[in-house]
Structure 1
Amino acid sequence: FSLPVYRKMELRSIPCRLPVMDVHGRIREVLAETIREELAPEHQQLSTEDLIKALRQRGIIDDVMKELKFVTDGNEKEKTSAPKPSTHFVDREPPVLKKTNIDPTRRYLYLQVLGGKAFLEHLQEPEPLPGQICSTFTLCLHFRNQRFRSKPVACACDPDFHDGFLLEVHKDSLGDGSKMVDATTMLSICDPVHMVLIKTDTFGETTLVASYFLEWRSVLAAENGITNVAVELLGVGTESKVSAGVLNVRLEMYPQLDKTLSPEVINTQFALERQKTAEKERLFLVYAKQWWREYLQIRPTHNTRLVKIFAQDENGVNRPVCSYIRPLRAGRLLDAPRQAARFVSVLGYERAPVIGGGGGKQEQWCTLLAFLCRNKGDCEDHANLLCSLLLGFGLEAFVCVGTKGKGVPHTWVMTLGTDGTVTFWESLTGHRYIHRPVKPDDPPLVEQPKPLYPYRTIGCVFNHQKFFGNCQPSDAVEVCVFDLHDESRWKPMSGEAIKSVCPPGSTSSVPPFPPLCDSTIDAAVASNEMELQLRLLVSEHRKDLGLSTVWDDHLSYLLSPALAAYELERATSISAGNEEFQDAVRRAVPDGHTFKGFPIHFVYRNARRAFATCLRSPFCEEIICCRGDQVRLAVRVRVFAYPESACAVWIMFACKYRSVL
């Protein structure tokens, strides 16, 4: 009989651990106590069983067993056989591996990403030191209502991707009598695997590197059910014709196909689909040109109005604007339209990057997956998502294209109520505005409504089924009448023409919408971490100024209701709880003392960046750098988590001090 090596090492370490616990001394005490209490003076002999029983009753054996942790055989093998990573980085949110229940009666596509190469932008990237935080790549996938995300890997010329994704081919449908789908049926499933590559820098800022639609059906012709594909990723926006890098992808059908298809059959199917798609797009383009000519004939000045029929996506592909909208149901993740507006507003705003000067705007309407994975986008991306969510909540919603102050192009969302109420939704802030048109023909003494919204002109409105061009004499929003059924005011496009190029039942070139994902952020943990970091930053800042820092934990806690009320007001437009907050603060601040508070809102969790922003406010700096008698400082952070790991972060700095005249 022999023990494995790791067992011997564990046993050798037992005597080293026992003195730390002072087990020997405790055993002697129990032994003496047991002899005294339980044995007669003439019988001073104790059996082993009696001693073990006494030790167990006093919990000593349990304490010893807790200290002795044996490594299982399987884990030991994993530890010894795991290859050393080529690069080191800190994974802030390590993914939790979960077992997947595989239905043996269903067909799966197993997609493996086995490394990348030729990411030349990172050719000179220095190899990070062990434990050093560095920029990372993350690959996001969407296929037939299923979403996946790879483990982050360090940015390099040859990034070390090694991930596998199990994609169910017949997701959310039973197929033909629940029998396993065959190769011929799968050939008719034209949904691609949408792959989005995101780069995250050391500050947590995300950049869209590439967006690619993988045609997976070539695996249906592989004899062994496995095929390897070198996927060349192209850049986005102005770099959409430049290679970003290559991914080595392996596709495998599970279970293996009983009968494979010939490459000729598959290529014929692809050719037919491309031909059908191209013909539908050609016919829609012909119709759109004719519609535009008719629109210009109504009034020559229409040529200057922002009527947007096509828009370029991140890959530089022109798509009808209606294809960017689709009713989107958020399941249990969002409960109301206003909450949806709040969620969209906390996604980051970033204009598409422009190479060179001139102040021009690069057009880039992102597909929904690219927008969600990057967690930020332009105003068009926000408006498209909000409109889709409002449609999912059963509202009649449209995206509006026009301008705001100083003629800056802008998009926002409009809903039309059954009672004729017109409501504008600003997707970047979540604010809502009721539109009441000004009537320029009324006498001067008639009081006209004053618009509170920032919008100036409007050129067109659209959703997934309708498109209207504004043909009223003036395109000023304040005088517009939004009776979309009046063709003298709004020129409609053919619903059939829109339906031919927009889902459902449209061409395969339009990417399907992904479902929303729940947040991975633990709001309480994130709030505590950020609050501790801010306390350290404040203490260091005051120390540099020669000031001591005394924190008032009770006052910090009392700030919580105010932060909750601020978020409630942003999400629902309802203000509540202010009276209780004020009363609690009055009780916490003694007579003769002064209280000052400063709330501020962010959509990121970088404490150092938030602190730097706070210091730029003179009110906040006055609190943080407060001087006086009996100065007590307080800070409270409240992170509110939303789908897609978006978050609203509220911070309040406060101080109280004795007033000295």
Structure 2
Amino acid sequence: MSLPPEKATELKQIIHDHLIKMDIHGKIRDVLAETVRGDGQHGQRSLSEEDFIHALQRRGIVDDVMKDLHFTNVVRVFSLYIDVLHTLRFPLRRYLYLQVLGGKAFLEHLQEPEPLPGQVCSTFTLHLHFRNQRFRSKPVPCACEPDLQEGFLLEVHRDGPGDASKMADATTMLSICDPVHMVLIKTDTSGDTTLISSYFIDWRRVLGAPNGKSSVSAELLGVGSECKVAVGVLNLKLELYPPLTETLSPDVVTTQQSLERQKTAEKERLFLVYAKQWWQEFLEIRPSHQSKLVKIFAQDENGVNRPVCSYVRVLRAGRLLESPRQAARFVSLLAQERAPVVGGGVRQEQWCSMTAFLCRNKGDCEDHATLLCSLLLGFGLDAYVCVGTKAKNIPYTWVMTCGTDGSITFWESFTAHRYLHRPIDPEAPPMVPQPKPTHTYRTLGCVFNHKKFLANCQPSDAVELCVFDFTDGSRWKAMSEEAVRSVCAPGSTSSLPPTPPLCSPSVVPNEASNQLELEMRYLLAEHRKDLGLATVWDDHLSYLLSAALSAYELERCIGVSCGNEEFQDAVRRAVPDGHTFKGFPIHFLHRNARRAFATCLRSPFCEEIVCCRGDHVRLAVRVRVFAYPESACAVWIMFACKYRSVL
């Protein structure tokens, strides 16, 4: 007998909550240590899974769990823990076990009522990134003291050749300055996400802890304009597996951290001195350069000024993205949102670290442009982020790539559109036709990537007049690549956030498509019922709409329309003579059925289909969800109807 997926998920959650409540981690560790000591004293063979299960039963732990859960057999539950504990008992590498033991002082949610069982409420989710490993907690209801109870097993090893299989000792781990990046995300009842805090913890304090364990109260600060305001506290516990045979002196750890901070501060000071000198030289070229958008530094979500080149990295997506155009499509599916600001006035600019941007799944044009540039660099293209203005003189960023043949292509990160740059020759005779730009970019102040920073010093900063010959010092003033590398290269300073890998899609496309289509059918039928209209579905016509939706998504990815001929031919065969066919496709970035249906009804074309009256009216709806990394998805919905024409 198998359980439905929703019941299985509920059952897993109940078991998980009870095991945490019983401190099952600690009890299993105690039994494991005691059993291993007993086996060692009696010279017995290595401990098997069956032996360990029997040891748990003898101690009464299995009976306690059975009593609490009212189950007859929970041996399978313990097997899940044994898999992890087997790794910890016979480790090939060192692990950092980071436990989150709850939160407190989230005063913004002081008046938050206790959620009723089954009630939809706002939730907190904690995301972690450490040395190319990413994890996230289960969502918990927002509260003044959120019940964040999670454990994360983080692997610690050096990245050098031959070091991956070695057990890291205390001295080696002391030299690993990568912090654990913790990002707290709030998700409201409609599915919108908000970045609450971005926190970096130096885990190396555990190297000097007497018993190899360290407890930390992490005070989380807000982001953007609230980066100096505390939003809450998380209670953390750090522990190394296997424990160190010899711990370091706390003074040694503190001294190492202090030396790293001093080294970072000195590098940043020298770069700032160089940047000021470089800027003065740039202003001396032409007085009008003072008004150009040459952005050398930008503030991240924590209010820290960082060189803009540090926001770009060479990012390879592995098997998750297959081409540069698919990467552009993925970035365009991340929602657009300006940095929140209290009150009116000038637009608040905030460049997010890549981890915070990916966890939130939305951001401003700067976040999209730096991510797209990083992905294009990973695909081997010569990509740069462009800083300038678009129509109405609005500050804006986009991406450009330089071809080996000298061609320049602009990439719009919000839409994945590509534009070939055709410069205008200002010295050409008036009668000579000039190319008209198809993009909305107006001026260009500077371009940069992870290695280079170049400011536009041409007489005009109009995009259509720009010549992109970066070797021409009279047109582009470049910063020293060595200076950029000193503060922007990975590992150059301890203050740079590490680059996260992309996560696999969390959405199962077929299941999500079926579920959303059922919801849309229900909403459409109910809407027609309110109008006094019956609803008769044509399942065959609904199936035929899949070809069109697939073609639409393919066109968004590669920029070429294909497959419409087959779809049109199939529809002609499915619609009898004397009947009329109408279809309305629409695209969304979310999977909220009610929001999507309400948006569709605002279109008179869609409303005409949904509210269709006539003879032999048959309705069809088809939903296709295309999954991309980081929970991003392209949702295509198509409404259609056919009816007998009476005119």
Shorter-chain TM-score bucket reads 0.7 to 0.9
User: In structure 2, what is the equivalent of residue 69 of structure 1?
Assistant: none
Residues 1:624 and 2:610 aligned together:
yes
Pick aligned residue for 1:166 from 153, 173, 177 = 153
Aligned counterparts of 1:144 and 1:215: Cα–Cα separation in 2: 13
User: In structure 1, what is the equivalent of residue 53 of structure 2?
Assistant: none
**Closer, same or farther in 2 for the Cα pair 1:436/1:79, shift >3 Å?**
farther
Q: Helix, strand or coil for the counterpart of 1:541?
A: helix
Residues 1:294 and 2:281 aligned together:
yes
Q: Please tell me whether the aligned partners of residues 524 and 610 of structure 2 are also in contact (alpha carbons under 8 angstroms).
A: yes
Q: Please tell me whether the aligned partners of residues 157 and 164 of structure 2 are also in contact (alpha carbons under 8 angstroms).
A: no
Pick aligned residue for 2:478 from 467, 492, 498 = 492
Q: Helix, strand or coil for the counterpart of 2:512?
A: helix
User: Identity of aligned pairs, percent?
Assistant: 75
Aligned amino acid, residue 276 of structure 2: K
**Closer, same or farther in 2 for the Cα pair 1:191/1:617, shift >3 Å?**
same
User: In structure 2, what is the equivalent of residue 582 of structure 1?
Assistant: 568
**Residue 503 of structure 1: CA displacement?**
1.8
User: In structure 1, what is the equivalent of residue 499 of structure 2?
Assistant: 513
Aligned amino acid, residue 532 of structure 2: G
User: In structure 1, what is the equivalent of residue 290 of structure 2?
Assistant: 303
Q: Counterparts of 1:576-655 in structure 2 under 5 Å?
A: 576-655=562-641
Aligned counterparts of 1:98 and 1:582: Cα–Cα separation in 2: 57
User: In structure 1, what is the equivalent of residue 50 of structure 2?
Assistant: none
Aligned counterparts of 1:98 and 1:459: Cα–Cα separation in 2: 58
TM-score by length of 1: 0.85
Aligned counterparts of 1:122 and 1:372: Cα–Cα separation in 2: 25
Aligned amino acid, residue 372 of structure 2: L
Aligned counterparts of 1:98 and 1:301: Cα–Cα separation in 2: 68
Q: Please tell me whether the aligned partners of residues 499 and 505 of structure 1 are also in contact (alpha carbons under 8 angstroms).
A: no
Which structure 2 residue ranges, 5 or more long, are not aligned? 1-59, 71-79
Q: Please tell me whether the aligned partners of residues 117 and 158 of structure 1 are also in contact (alpha carbons under 8 angstroms).
A: yes
Q: Counterparts of 1:185-196 in structure 2 under 5 Å?
A: 185-196=172-183
User: In structure 2, what is the equivalent of residue 118 of structure 1?
Assistant: 105
Aligned counterparts of 1:627 and 1:176: Cα–Cα separation in 2: 71
Q: Please tell me whether the aligned partners of residues 102 and 235 of structure 2 are also in contact (alpha carbons under 8 angstroms).
A: yes
**Residue 178 of structure 1: CA displacement?**
4.1
TM-score by length of 2: 0.87
**Residue 179 of structure 1: CA displacement?**
3.7
1:473-492 superposed Cα distances (whole Å, 9 cap, x missing partner)? 11110111111111111110
Pick aligned residue for 2:460 from 474, 483, 488 = 474
Aligned amino acid, residue 395 of structure 1: L
**Residue 173 of structure 1: CA displacement?**
5.1
Further displaced range: 422-431 or 164-173:
164-173
Aligned counterparts of 2:63 and 2:457: Cα–Cα separation in 1: 74
Aligned counterparts of 1:436 and 1:161: Cα–Cα separation in 2: 54
Aligned amino acid, residue 652 of structure 1: M
Q: Helix, strand or coil for the counterpart of 2:409?
A: strand
Residues 1:232 and 2:215 aligned together:
no
Q: Please tell me whether the aligned partners of residues 144 and 171 of structure 1 are also in contact (alpha carbons under 8 angstroms).
A: no
Which structure 1 residue ranges, 5 or more long, are not aligned? 1-72, 84-95
Aligned counterparts of 1:593 and 1:374: Cα–Cα separation in 2: 47
**Closer, same or farther in 2 for the Cα pair 1:398/1:118, shift >3 Å?**
same
**Residue 574 of structure 1: CA displacement?**
2.0
User: In structure 1, what is the equivalent of residue 550 of structure 2?
Assistant: 564
User: In structure 2, what is the equivalent of residue 285 of structure 1?
Assistant: 272
Aligned counterparts of 2:61 and 2:613: Cα–Cα separation in 1: 60
Residues 1:197 and 2:161 aligned together:
no
1:429-455 superposed Cα distances (whole Å, 9 cap, x missing partner)? 000000010111100111111111111
Residues 1:542 and 2:537 aligned together:
no
Aligned counterparts of 1:230 and 1:251: Cα–Cα separation in 2: 11
**Closer, same or farther in 2 for the Cα pair 1:450/1:191, shift >3 Å?**
same
**Closer, same or farther in 2 for the Cα pair 1:603/1:126, shift >3 Å?**
same
User: In structure 2, what is the equivalent of residue 451 of structure 1?
Assistant: 437
**Residue 74 of structure 1: CA displacement?**
8.4
User: In structure 1, what is the equivalent of residue 232 of structure 2?
Assistant: 245
RMSD over aligned Cα, in angstroms? 1.7
Aligned counterparts of 2:322 and 2:106: Cα–Cα separation in 1: 42
User: In structure 2, what is the equivalent of residue 427 of structure 1?
Assistant: 413
Q: Please tell me whether the aligned partners of residues 123 and 156 of structure 1 are also in contact (alpha carbons under 8 angstroms).
A: yes
Pick aligned residue for 1:128 from 92, 95, 115 = 115
Aligned amino acid, residue 645 of structure 2: S
User: In structure 1, what is the equivalent of residue 199 of structure 2?
Assistant: 212
Q: Please tell me whether the aligned partners of residues 140 and 197 of structure 1 are also in contact (alpha carbons under 8 angstroms).
A: yes
1:267-301 superposed Cα distances (whole Å, 9 cap, x missing partner)? 11111111000000011111111111111111111
Pick aligned residue for 2:360 from 374, 389, 411 = 374
Pick aligned residue for 1:332 from 319, 323, 334 = 319
Q: Helix, strand or coil for the counterpart of 2:630?
A: helix
Q: Counterparts of 1:3-42 in structure 2 under 5 Å?
A: none
Pick aligned residue for 1:387 from 373, 377, 382 = 373
**Closer, same or farther in 2 for the Cα pair 1:75/1:534, shift >3 Å?**
farther
Aligned counterparts of 2:444 and 2:531: Cα–Cα separation in 1: 52
Residues 1:400 and 2:386 aligned together:
yes
Q: Counterparts of 1:98-117 in structure 2 under 5 Å?
A: 99-100=83-84, 101-102=87-88, 104-117=91-104
Aligned counterparts of 1:524 and 1:339: Cα–Cα separation in 2: 20
Aligned counterparts of 2:292 and 2:253: Cα–Cα separation in 1: 46
Aligned amino acid, residue 605 of structure 2: F
Aligned amino acid, residue 163 of structure 1: E
Aligned counterparts of 2:568 and 2:163: Cα–Cα separation in 1: 64
User: In structure 2, what is the equivalent of residue 23 of structure 1?
Assistant: none
User: In structure 2, what is the equivalent of residue 70 of structure 1?
Assistant: none
Q: Please tell me whether the aligned partners of residues 349 and 379 of structure 1 are also in contact (alpha carbons under 8 angstroms).
A: yes
Aligned amino acid, residue 177 of structure 2: C
Q: Counterparts of 1:522-533 in structure 2 under 5 Å?
A: 522-533=508-519
**Closer, same or farther in 2 for the Cα pair 1:172/1:266, shift >3 Å?**
closer
Q: Please tell me whether the aligned partners of residues 550 and 631 of structure 1 are also in contact (alpha carbons under 8 angstroms).
A: yes
**Residue 626 of structure 1: CA displacement?**
1.0
**Closer, same or farther in 2 for the Cα pair 1:607/1:176, shift >3 Å?**
closer
Aligned counterparts of 1:293 and 1:323: Cα–Cα separation in 2: 22
Q: Please tell me whether the aligned partners of residues 401 and 458 of structure 1 are also in contact (alpha carbons under 8 angstroms).
A: yes
List structure 1 segments (4+ residues) > 6 angstroms apart after TM superposition.
73-76
Aligned amino acid, residue 138 of structure 1: T
Residues 1:261 and 2:248 aligned together:
yes
Q: Helix, strand or coil for the counterpart of 1:181?
A: coil
1:492-549 superposed Cα distances (whole Å, 9 cap, x missing partner)? 0010110000123411101110100100111000001111111111111111111111
1:527-575 superposed Cα distances (whole Å, 9 cap, x missing partner)? 0111111111111111111111111111100100000000001001121
Aligned counterparts of 1:412 and 1:236: Cα–Cα separation in 2: 24
Looking at CA atoms only, which structure, 1 or 2, has the larger radius of gyration?
1
Aligned counterparts of 1:429 and 1:194: Cα–Cα separation in 2: 30
Aligned amino acid, residue 462 of structure 1: F
1:336-363 superposed Cα distances (whole Å, 9 cap, x missing partner)? 10010001011111111121023x2111
1:190-244 superposed Cα distances (whole Å, 9 cap, x missing partner)? 0000000000111111110000000100000111100100000000001100001
Q: Counterparts of 1:25-174 in structure 2 under 5 Å?
A: 77-78=64-65, 80-81=67-68, 99-100=83-84, 101-102=87-88, 104-170=91-157
Q: Counterparts of 1:341-352 in structure 2 under 5 Å?
A: 341-352=328-339
Q: Helix, strand or coil for the counterpart of 1:644?
A: coil
**Residue 171 of structure 1: CA displacement?**
6.1
**Closer, same or farther in 2 for the Cα pair 1:413/1:624, shift >3 Å?**
same
1:91-135 superposed Cα distances (whole Å, 9 cap, x missing partner)? xxxxx9994445513111000000000000100000011111111
Q: Please tell me whether the aligned partners of residues 175 and 181 of structure 1 are also in contact (alpha carbons under 8 angstroms).
A: no
Q: Helix, strand or coil for the counterpart of 1:344?
A: helix
